[in-house]
Amino acid sequence: MNAFAGIHAVAQMTVGDQYRDTGWVGIAVTFVVASFILINIYRARGGRELFIRRIAGLNAIDEAIGRATEMGRPVLMVPGLSTTINAIAVQAVNIFAYVSRIAARFANPILLCCYNAAVYTYAQETIRDVYQQEGLADRYDTDSVRFVSDRQFAFAAGVSGLILREQTAATFFLGEFYAESLIFAETANSIGSIQVASSTETTQTPFFIAACDYVLIGDEFYAASAYLTRKPILVGSLVGQDWSKLLILLIIVIGSLVNTFQIQGTTEWERKDGEWTKIETRPKKISDTTMSAIFKPQAPEVTIDRPKKPTPAPTPSEGGN
């Protein structure tokens, strides 16, 4: 009955707290997912052609810039409201690097508004690189990448002011957006500028859908750079992500089927602190299933005595207490 006796052997050691019972599963899965990603990056580097399906929102990017060029009006980009620089902001700025590269070629003015100084630093550096690689360093104006404010609604006021004054022809809102998403979207819409938007905050997506021309939903945002640049590393990683999603999909399908059948009938066993103990017969609960045993590790309590640390000598600054 006690299927976990083997794993409890671990508990005899003094270390490995987080591995006890089924605690190791989580770490294992994380590593499987990581290896999926790395393996596929390796495959893609090997020059293997990997397929990516069409993503409508991303085809719109070129169109939007083209439009801006025709009208000779600036392209405005906002890499979200991350409170410090993180992968979301990096991803956004990477997409914007692609945008600015095209804009630079057509000598189209750009505006990149940052919410956070670290992101600003990164964007400044990145966009300058882009212009240098295009051999257009002279066209680059450091003020086109600017820090606006790091207070949410001051930022919103500032950016919508910019949109209205500069009459931007194309606007890109990619990254972490919260309530202010709609302020940007509607303001841009009111001057008829094309908007490509995406928020990693699911709760904001509906508002972008309502107000924007093109919306990237969920991790289409993370797929973007792979889709646009087709760099093997990115494409490979994207395939790895798909494998991982399939893995989760399988776990869900199989898991819920297993639960469905295991929960039928009654039981006289119950897990307490990781040990199966006998109880009087009762209808099975979801907590009696293998799946919940796997997902909810509950190691038994063990006491291990260690030598005490030497207590620190009282120091004058502590007044000797």
Partner 1 sequence: MPGLGAKLQAMPKQIIYLVLITVTTIPLFFDVAVPNEPLEATQDYYATLEQLPEGSRVLMASDWTGSTRGESKGAFRSTLNILIRRKAKIAFYSTADPQAPRVAQDAINELNAERRRANLPEFKRWEDWISLGYFPDSEAANNGIANDLQGAFSGRKDFPPGAPPRDVFQSPVLEGITKVGQIPLLLIVTASKTSNFTVERIKPDRKTGYPKLLFAVTGVMVPETQVFYQSKQIAGYCGGLKGVYDLEQLMENGINFPSKKEAVVKSDKYDVVPGYPSPSNKGQGTRYYPTLHFALALMILLVIVGNIGMALSKREARS
Partner 2 sequence: MLLAQVAVERGFWSEAPNSPALWTKLSICLIIGLAVMVGLMFVPVRARRPIIGMCTFIAGLYWVLLYVWPKPIDRQPDEAPLNAVEGVAIWLEESNKFVVSFTQILTALLLGLGIFSLLTIHLGKIRRRHPDALFSGVLLASMLLMITFGYWDYNQRQGEAGALLDNPANWTFVQYSRDFLFQGFLQEMDAAMFSIIAFYILSAAYRAFRLRSVEATILLAAALLVLVSLMGAVSSAWDTQVRAIANGNPFVLNFQLSEISMWIRNTFQTSSIRGIQFGVGIGALAMGLRIWLGLERTGGQD
Partner 3 sequence: MNYEQYILLRKTASVIATLGLYSVLYKENKFYRLFEHIFLGVAAGWTVVALWTETLKAAWWEKMVGTEAAAGSPATDGFFAYILLLPIGLMGYFVFTKKYNWMSRIPIGIILGLWSGQQVQIWWNTYGPQIDATLKPVVPTTWDSLIVPSTAGLAPEQLAKVQSQIYLSQAINNFLFVTTVVCVLSYFLFSFNAQNKSLQRANMLGRYLLMIGFGAIFGSTVMTRFTLLIDRMYFVWIEWFRDGILPLFTPR
Instruction: Give the footprint of partner 2 on residues 176-195 (CB under 8 A).
Output: 179-180, 182-183, 185-187, 189
Residues 181-220 that bind partner 1 (CB under 8 A): 190, 203
Q: Considering only residues 179, 258, 291, 294, which one is a binding residue for partner 1 as defined by CB under 8 A? A: 179
Sheet holding 194-199, edge to edge: 145-147, 110-114, 75-78, 170-175, 194-199, 214-215
Please tell me the distance from the alpha carbon of residue 121 to that of residue 115, in angstroms, as a whole number. Answer: 11
Q: If binding is defined by CB under 8 A, does position 125 make contact with partner 2?
A: yes
Please tell me the distance from the alpha carbon of residue 235 to that of residue 41, in angstroms, as a whole number. Answer: 7
Q: If binding is defined by CB under 8 A, does position 35 make contact with partner 1?
A: no
Please tell me the distance from the alpha carbon of residue 269 to that of residue 144, in angstroms, as a whole number. Answer: 67
Residues 149-178 that bind partner 2 (CB under 8 A): 150-154, 156-157
Query: What b/e string do you get for 137-164 counting C-beta neighbours within 10 Å, with b at 16 or more?
Result: eeebeeebbebbbeeeeebbebbbebbe
Residue range at the interface with partner 3 (CB under 8 A); choices 7-15, 61-69, 216-224, 302-310: 216-224
Q: If binding is defined by CB under 8 A, does position 278 make contact with partner 3?
A: no
In the complex with partner 1, which residue's Cβ is closer, 115 or 227?
115
Angle at CA of residue 151, ends 224 and 81, nearest 5°: 10
Q: Considering only residues 38, 70, 281, 295, which one is a binding residue for partner 3 as defined by CB under 8 A? A: 295
Please tell me the distance from the alpha carbon of residue 42 to that of residue 220, in angstroms, as a whole number. Answer: 22
Contact flags string 284-313 toward partner 1, x per CB under 8 A: -----------------x------------
Residue type, 80: G
197 beta partners: 173, 215
In the complex with partner 2, which residue's Cβ is closer, 7 or 233?
233
Q: Torsion over CA of 39, 41, 42 and 44, rounded to 10 degrees?
A: 120
Q: With CB cut-offs between 5 and 8 Å by kind, which of partner 3, partner 1, partner 2, none does residue 52 bind?
A: partner 3
Beta strands in 177-292 (DSSP E): 194-199, 214-215, 266-272, 275-283
Contact flags string 121-160 toward partner 1, x per CB under 8 A: -------------------------------xx-------
Tell me how far, at minimum, the Cβ of 83 lies from partner 3, in Å.
11
Q: If binding is defined by CB under 8 A, does position 314 make contact with partner 3?
A: no
Is 132:262 a contact under the CB 8 Å cutoff? no
Residues making contact with partner 1 (CB under 8 A) = 152-153, 179, 190, 203, 301
